[in-house]
Amino acid sequence: MAIQIEEPRQRQQRVPPWRNVTFLKWAAQAVFLFAILAVFWILGSQAGSNLEDRGIDVSFGFLNTLPGIRLAEGIDVLPATGGRALYVGIVNMLRVTVAGIFAATVLGIIVGVSRLSKNWIVSKVATGYIETVRNIPLLVQIIAWGVVITTIPGNLGFETGPFGCTDPVSGCEGWFFLSNKGASFAWLFPADGFWQWFAFLGVGVAASIWVYRWRYHLKEERGDETYALTWGTLTVVAFAAIGWFVHPIMGFLGYLWGWISELLDSLPVWSLQAVLALLAVFFAGLWIKRFLDDRRTPAGLAKLTDDDIFRIGSAAFAGLVGVIVFFSLAGISEWILNSGRDLFSVMDDKFEFLDGGAPLSFGRPSLVQPGNFPNYGDTGLTMSKLFFPVFVGVTIYTAAFIAEVVRGGILAISKGQSEAGLALGLSRTQLLRFIILPQAFRIILPPMGNQYLNLAKNTSLGIAVAYPEVVAVGQTLYNQTGATIPVITLWMLFYVSVSLFISAIVNWYNRRVALVER
Amino acid sequence: MDAEITPIDPMLDDELAPESPPLSATMWMRENLFSTKANTVLTFVAVSIIAFIIRNVVAWIFAPNRGWEAVATNLRFYMVQAYPAGPEPEIPNQFVRVWVSAGSIVVLAALSLAAWKVGTKVAFTKLFATIRAAGAAVALVAFLGPPTQNLDLLSGIDFPVIGPLLAVAGSLLGFFIEAALMTGGRLVAFLIGAAIVVGAHLAAKATKPRGDDYGFHSLWMVFGAGAIVIVALWVVPFGHYFFLRGEVGFETGTIATSTSGPWTVIFLLAVGGYFLARWIVRLLGEKSLRSLLVLFWSLSLPVIVLFVLRDPDFNPAKDGGGFDFLPATDVWIWFIFGILGGLVIAGLSFPRLGELGRAASGLLVIGSLAMWAVPMLMRVRLIGFLFAMFAVGAQTFAGDRRARVRYVGLWVGLTTVLVVLFAAINTQSSLFIQGKTFLGGLTLTFVLALTSILLSFPIGLLMALGRTSSMPIFRVMSTMYIELVRGIPFITVLIFFDLILILFLPGNVEFDSVTLAILAGTLFSAAYLAENVRGGLQAIPKGQYEAARAMGLSTLQLTVFVVLPQALRAVIPALVGQTIAIFKDTSLVAIIGLFDFLFIADKVVPAQTIFLGIKLENIVFIAAVYWMFTFSFSRASLKLEKKVGLGEY
Amino acid sequence: MNDKRDIIVCEGVKKWFGDFQALKGITTSIKEQEVVVVIGPSGSGKSTFIRTLNRLEVHQEGTIVIDGVELTNDLKNIEKIRSEVGMVFQQFNLFPHLTVMQNITLAPIWVRKKPKAEAEADAMKLLDRVGIPEQAEKFPGQLSGGQQQRVAIARSLAMEPRIMLFDEPTSALDPEMIKEVLDVMKELALSGMTMIVVTHEMGFAKEVADRVLFFDYGLVVEEGTPEHFFTSPEHDRTKLFLSQIL
């Protein structure tokens, strides 16, 4: 059948740009990008002149000067520099975040499971808790807790029992105190040898994973029960116990960290700049290579569309921008080098103690000034009256959301799954262990990560009760120095990196689960 | 593939199943509370916790030194803050504006209830069962309540470890002893509760044989509750505050008729309006009434905030002839964009224009963007941008003659409204404003939440489309924005707008802090909305896009007619959730010092000389109000979710 | 038949999905009013082929000329071709939030710029033609699969296309509903519509097709009249396929 063509074939027909789909697509994007950049440029130049007129400081100089502020609590209440003050704020924020995540998870799981309980009253109590807590703004709750803790009359602790106070004038020790100064309770504190012991424990965990796999493998081979989990746990316990006495052998790590620290100190800045620039080129090249691999066909490289060429160009451009940035702004590399050096030198200090002191020490709270305005000693773990409302507020609030996540995860596993498991002859425990829990976990974890992220962000509401976390400290700093723009930039950087960190963990887990699924 | 699955009708199921005999109380308890040993222990623990909480809460609420009159006296403050209330004797207070605003919203709501035929039938049996439960709750609380006002459960217990257990067990025992010795208000409350239980139970039994059809319209409950509130306004001595020669004065235990009178009128108007609207619907059908009400609702927020509450001063006589810029600029803006622009849009919408029209609208877009680079009035830039967007859409949406007329009409109407609103924003207020801003209290909270969510809607929509787009620059930029905003706490965004934004703007531009808070809330919630909408977009099958493309729909048409209606329907629950979240988040503006609902409870009332230091009562009060609103939102969204399933797949 | 002009001309059409080459150079032409049935095992590229004809898939090499217009990046050509080529999908792809009437009138109103009343009158005629005029105000979810596919055909016809593409129109249907859809398609073929049909319904192919294309491994392995194709196929692949399917 001959191909007959009525009109002359218009090969390589010239398409006018305003009708070319590819051109239009990229033109719209370019206009948009240009508009955004223009807006930024206009705003930026306006800001420049405004700042000059008002004499507002935009430099980060305050990070290195004496701020002259006093923080209500933290690892360093009289910080020597603005940077140190922010660092104290970050540590405070992380403290309340970590404690809150731990407590909210425990409480949330209890409440979530309770809501599914067959016991009518238990499930109603859990429902009531969730519906009350999540419908009231968190800030209102935090402020309420702040009022509650500061209006407690005297001490509600148990300082007068057989374990408690015998001499109310000179003070006493107890187990748990609650007063308008906050709460104080017994706690295990890391002591001198802690980090060495911790490193030893890390070796133990690695060993226990190996032991677990070995026992599991044995079970697969022989078929009878090998108690893999028990063996694994016992290995960790054994390492913890042995490590209690022999932990100084990990002291060599201190020398290692010290050596790395010195190495980083001696490196010239240009070397890191070169490495970073090379990395930028490498990643751009890698992306382009992968992209081309994707387009490669057995018959050779497929014809690249206009879109593809634009994409490759953009990737190359991004790499180039990276190189220029790293070379023109030597400060970035310098900062990375210096922080790396400081980090390793701090770690060196932590591993320094070689006299074999105990890793942990136990302390009970003490009341040095009983009465209506009590004072706590430093032997117990004390939650200040500023820490308390933030901690209790975010814990109770987030727990309500975690409870819903947990409930949803358990309910999402269809009845069919349980029935299929039972039909296979699995026992109830096996059903839970092999069918329900793995699936529930997979469903629960991503939203759980989201809740942790919310909790971390919500700690910033501590500013309302003057808890010195990073936002409150930043506010004090810019009230003192007028450096609003740098402080807000640092806030954003900090929170974005926290959320990237948490979502990276969740994504990593998701990817792992997805791989297992295949 | 497309097997027709008939959903199992629960009602049907009920009829077919043999009527199971109702469980006796003991049987029910055995099944639900004491089925196993562990369950029994759990029950006791839970009961102890509830008893402990109720006991202490009741003791706290009814303690003689509670300062509830701080809340009652400041109710007006909570609603509108120091809305112009005549600080000087010769300036009359302006509360009538508040009544007009509240009244229009309440009446509009009543009309809408009629137009959308809201409400179901409530069976008497169910009503009585609910009353019975409420009576039981009253009796239970009275039963568990403390015998004296200052009961401290933990005092006098010496053993630290078993102390709490003993205290709980002791109080459990104590309840029964005290129950026999109940006196005073507690006994009265218990008896009232018991009487309600008995009465409602008998009534429920009597009405049960007549079935679920024997009932009344549920709106009667709403009207009944409203009537109770009105009566309470006349009878209960709430207390009020007033301004006398610039000083705030308080009078506890009284009630101002300037509150109860207007509310009575509003209530009567609302009920009357409801029945009028019912009658109109029966006579003319609901279609026209509904579109009229939609128009009213969409105009109500700006009109009330800008015209009724703020009262823009269009008076030309005042200092320096502030009026002359109105005819000099705004009228011209309206003429150029509304009338001439309307003609341009009409021209652009001719189907035969083809590429020429496309090129022209593209040039208009570039021109409207270029307006941001040259010094120009902000309102001209905004209207210019909207104009360009309308011009782009003209080809797409104004095909036949009628659609064209409607499209141009829409543009002219929109410009008119916008120009008037811009003029209102740019004129001074004729009121003497007390506080930092004229809005405050719960009103401010609602205005913040509503404006933020409404404004963030289009932005979030665009951002979601950008993030799912195949065009990399749009995708990357939307993703960056969304992830950045979602990564940082709202308070930093608020502070950013409060302190920094002003530095980026030309010196003559000024924003008041409410506008800045609205901007912050809008841009913040846009990122979250975008993520919600993205979920809906991803749920749309690829075939829908392909079918629409194969039919020749353009990208814009495909998005507007096919994609968005489906995506939005799928994400309604998430959108309501986002609205609730924004409503709760507005409380953060208290940190930057706006006089919102929380700020008044936290800082203002506790600082008044006669209520000095009374704080927890105020916080508990606002917590209850916040709870009431968010709880009813979420309940309403559950119902909505079930309703919109209609007509899908 | 030979006096009809070619309405679709494909020359060396190639298409890759990543590493996988779906089309390895398709060269064929289709005349006006011709009914072409495309058959082949799954993954042979037959669906991809007809999707390149209205640019739902973008071919990477070769040329496609439809009614004298070449398919390129040109917006105008794409618009023109899409409004002249109707397509019916395996999964119907009706818009679930719109009524049957709205589904049919959507494109005529907004693409063809027809007045609404006219579009609705035309839609009723089409619904009559596919035999379900009483369903106009229902939502797709309330219809059976066969009815939905007939609405989808009516929706495509509402744009008054010169060519209709059918991508396995009966594969998602229950057996008892296949016939009602095939009847509509036969009626359409008899009325002189140019049709390209990807299907597994061999009865339809024997009865209605003017020509059968057999696809495998992204190539047209064999083509010819139905009689030739079903009675004396030349190629081994074709024989194997027919033995499996018949």
Which pLDDT value is given to residue A169?
57
Q: Give the end-to-end CA distance of chain A in Å, rounded to a whole number.
A: 49
Return the amino acid letter for C120: E
Contact C110 B397 (CB under 8 A): yes
pLDDT of residue B644: 63
Tokens representing B254?
Answer: 């009284």
Backbone φ, ψ for residue C221 (5° rounding): -80, -40
Is B547 within 8 Å of C173 when comparing Cβ atoms? no
Residue among B403, B544, B552 whose CB faces C93 most closely: B544
pLDDT at position B89, please? 54
The DSSP code sequence of A310-330 is HHHHHHHHHHHHHHHHHHH-H
Output the pTM of the full model: 0.84
- Among A3, A23, A298, the residue with its CB nearest the CB of C29 is A3
When the pLDDT of each residue in chain B is averaged and rounded to a whole number, the result is 81
Q: Which of A11-15, A129-133, B152-156, B327-331 has the highest mean pLDDT?
A: A129-133
Asked if residue C206 lies in contact with residue C173, where contact means CB atoms within 8 angstroms, the answer is no
Q: Hey, are the CB atoms on A19 and C19 less than 8 Å from each other?
A: no
Instruction: Give the per-residue pLDDT at B436.
Output: 64
List CB contacts of C30: < 8 A, sequence separation 6 or more.
Answer: C6, C7, C8, C36, C194, C196
CB A226 within 8 A of CB A211: no
Mean per-residue pLDDT, A155-181 = 61
Residue B254 vs residue B417, higher pLDDT: B417
Contacts for A198 with CB less than 8 Å, ≥ 6 apart: A359
Q: Please write the tens of the pLDDT for every residue from A293-315.
A: 877 666 666 666 667 777 788 88
C117: nearest Cα among A503, A231, B403, A55: B403
Question: Which chains, if any, share at least 3 CB pairs under 8 A with chain A?
Answer: B, C
Taking each helix axis from N to C end, the angle separating B355-370 and B341-348, rounded to the nearest 10 degrees, works out to 150
Contact present, B290 and B115 (Cβ < 8 Å): yes
In this predicted structure, what is the pLDDT of residue B149? 40
| Out of A8-22, A191-205, B521-535, least confident range | A8-22
More confident residue, B358 or B475: B475
* Three-class DSSP category at B314: coil
pLDDT of residue C158 exceeding 70:
yes
Q: In chain A, what are the domain boundaries?
A: 23-56, 63-152+392-513, 195-350
How many angstroms separate the CA atoms of B392 and B367, rounded?
13
pLDDT at position B493, please? 94
Q: Does domain B440-649 have CATH number 1.20.140.10?
A: no
Cα–Cα distance, C241 to B283 (Å, whole number): 68
Residues in C touching A303 (Cβ below 8 Å): 60-61
Q: How far is CA B627 from the centre of its chain?
A: 12
pLDDT given for residue B27 in this prediction:
79
**Surface of B (369-408) touching A: CB under 8 A:** 369, 372-373
Arithmetic mean of pLDDT, A356-364: 80
Which residues have CB under 8 Å from B384's CB, separation 6+? B337, B367, B368, B371
Specify the pLDDT at position A8.
39
Find the DSSP H helices in A136-268.
138-150, 194-222, 228-246, 252-266
Torsion angle in degrees (nearest 10) through CA of B428, B429, B430, B436:
-120
Which of B7-11, B440-444, B455-459, C60-64 has the weakest average pLDDT?
B7-11
Instruction: Please tell me the distance from the alpha carbon of residue B615 to that of residue B599, in angstroms, as a whole number.
Output: 11
The alpha carbon of residue C14 is apart from the nearest alpha carbon of chain B, in Å, by 21
Q: Determine the pLDDT at residue A46.
A: 79
A302 and chain C in contact, CB less than 8 A:
yes
More confident residue, A169 or C24: C24
- CATH T-level topology, domain A63-152+392-513: MetI-like fold (1.10.3720)
d(CA A441, CA B125): 44
Asked if residue B292 lies in contact with residue B131, where contact means CB atoms within 8 angstroms, the answer is no
Mean pLDDT value of segment A268-291? 89
CB of B252 less than 8 A from some CB of A: no
| Structure confidence at residue B90 (pLDDT) | 58
**Mean pLDDT on B529-545:** 90
Average pLDDT score over residue span C87-108: 91
Instruction: Mean pLDDT check: name the lowest of A163-167, B121-125, C37-41, C153-157.
Output: A163-167
Distance set, CA B480 to CA A33, A201, B149, B578 (Å):
13, 40, 57, 20
Supply the pLDDT for residue B117. 82
Of B365, B489, B620, the CB nearest to A458: B489
Considering only CB atoms, which chain C residues are within 8 Å of A6?
5-6, 68
Q: Which of A352-356, A441-445, B110-114, B423-427 has the highest mean pLDDT?
A: B110-114
Residue B584 sits at the chain A interface (C-beta within 8 Å)? yes
CB contact under 8 A, C75 and A24: yes
Q: What is the DSSP letter of B8?
A: P
Q: Among A96-110, A229-243, A419-433, B332-346, where is mean pLDDT lowest?
A: A419-433
- In this complex, the residue of B355, B397, B647 whose CB is nearest that of residue C97 is B647
In angstroms, the CA C161 to CA B195 distance is 77
Q: Is C121 on the interface with B (CB under 8 A)?
A: no
Residue B69 has pLDDT above 90, yes or no: no
Of B487, B489, B631, the CB nearest to A460: B489
Give the pLDDT of residue B23: 63
Nearest CA in chain B to C143: B4
In total, the C-beta contacts within 8 angstroms joining chain A to chain B are: 185
d(CA B113, CA C128): 40
Q: How many CB atoms lie within 10 A of CB A331?
A: 10
Domain borders along chain B are 153-180, 333-428, 440-649
Q: What is the pLDDT of residues B461-512, one digit of tens each?
A: 999 999 988 888 888 899 999 989 999 999 999 999 988 887 887 766 667 8
Find which of C67, C72, C213, C223 to mutate to test the A interface (most A CBs within 10 Å of its CB).
C72
The whole-chain average pLDDT of chain A stands at 82
- Residue-wise pLDDT tens digits, A70-129: 888 888 888 888 888 999 999 999 999 999 999 999 999 999 988 888 788 889 999 999
Contact C15, C48 (CB under 8 A): yes
